A and B are shown apart, each in its own frame.
Chain A
Amino acid sequence: DAGVIQSPRHEVTEMGQEVTLRCKPISGHNSLFWYRQTMMRGLELLIYFNNNVPIDDSGMPEDRFSAKMPNASFSTLKIQPSEPRDSAVYFCASSLQRDNHEQYFGPGTRLTVT
């Protein structure tokens, strides 16, 4: 298995632009997680899905952030409009089921908003 796949690996954009991050979880995994990592705040859970349904989005910073999971093999995290403070590494992870303790992380997308 290729593991969790994220694209793009790096994104540089200007303030105000829309940014879309993509994730393909491991085949057969039912839960998908989006995290954000910064030096100041560490690793934060933004949202997670179970069987394509958003379960907890309390970590989403504000309405500029939205996430979708239209099917079991694809999820997007969108920021519109982007701001410099959104600069971070965004990780997607998947696990077999919601209570499964083994989360497999993708390589991350490094987002820079200028």
Chain B
Amino acid sequence: GEDVEQSLFLSVREGDSSVINCTYTDSSSTYLYWYKQEPGAGLQLLTYIFSNMDMKQDQRLTVLLNKKDKHLSLRIADTQTGDSAIYFCAGLGHGGSQGNLIFGKGTKLSVKP
């Protein structure tokens, strides 16, 4: 089944770009997602990319997908203190896990003023 790995922590300065990386194992995942979790809240879908795409841009967010290396990244331009949160990478499961989202453990982004 799908396994998703992320680094646990990232610290950046306000105004810099943040890049959060993720690797996954199931090459048949049709969608890959980034969710954001602010303190004390549930997860919120930030963006997603279909597996036949290499890149998707949405305002300050850029998602890059390297299918060959099974590597997904989320770039946040002009990072703000309000971007401090935990970011989860997730893949859509298949087979017995069809319809399930398989989440990584999350990357905690800290933005310093």
Contact = CB atoms under 8 A, between A and B. Distances in A.
Interface of A: 4, 31, 33, 42-43, 45, 48, 50, 55-56, 58, 91, 93, 98-99, 101-108
Nearest to B48: A101
Contact of A45 (B31, B44, B92, B100): B100
Contact of B101 (A42, A45, A108): A45
A99 B48 contact: no
Contacts of B98: 98-99
A42 B42 contact: no
Contacts, number: 52
- Most central of A33, A43, A106, A107 by chain B CB within 10 Å: A43
B99 A98 contact: yes
B88 A43 contact: yes
A103 B103 contact: no
- Assign chain B's interface to a size class: 20 to 34
Interface of A is mostly: strand
Contacts of B106: 42-43
Interface string B27-67: 00001010000001111110010000000000000000000
Contacts of A108: 41-42
A42 B99 contact: no
B103 A48 contact: no
Contacts of A101: 31, 33, 48, 92, 101
B1 to A, nearest CB: 11
